[in-house]
Every structure is written in C-alpha cells, then in structure tokens.
Amino acid sequence: MIETPLRSIAKAATWQALGLAMMTLISWVVTGSVAAGGAIAVLGAAVGTVTYVFHERLWAHVRWGRLHTNDAAPPRPINSTADR
C-alpha cells in the first residue's frame, strides 16, 4: 500500500502538534510558566525544523547507503546459506 502525500502531511502535522504539546508541558513543569513553556516549545520546533533542513542537505551529499536504479537488486539476508 502506498501512502499519499496528503496522508504524509497530516501525519507530519499531528506529530509536530504532539511534540509542541509535550515540549510545552515539560517546559511548563520546569519553569512554572505556561507562556515560557509555550515559547520554549515554539522556539525548539523552529530550531529543529531549520536544523533538519540543513541535516537533510548535508546527507544529500553523502553517497553511502544509496543504490543506483540499475543496481537496485534486493539485498541478501546476512544469514544467507549462499555465504556458507
């Protein structure tokens, strides 16, 4: 079954909302302020998003773990009897 782009966007949005809620709650407990907790959560989400973009762009230059489409044979299991 293939996931549609809309489903991926919905999952990303709900995951981000859950993360914001948890970070707000944790920060509220630590600081005693809902406003400070919310600000920390929003700042954390913004920094995390920007960091993720840079992380992805850096990994785009790493060749390790990639297969060319003409080399895309399924990998053999490590415990293959052909290796014995």
**What's the pLDDT tens digit per position in 47-72?**
999 999 999 999 999 999 988 777 55
Provide the pLDDT confidence category of residue 37 given band limits of 50, 70 and 90: very high
Domain that holds residue 40: 34-60
Q: How many domains does the chain have?
A: 1
CA angle 19-22-24, nearest 5°? 105
What is the DSSP secondary structure assignment for residue 73, as one 8-state letter?
P
* pLDDT over 90 percentage in the chain: 67
User: Quick check: is 47 in a domain?
Assistant: yes
Please state the rounded mean pLDDT for residues 23-31: 96
Average pLDDT over the chain reads 87
Q: What is the pTM of this model?
A: 0.64
User: Quick check: is 41 in a domain?
Assistant: yes
User: Quick check: is 66 in a domain?
Assistant: no
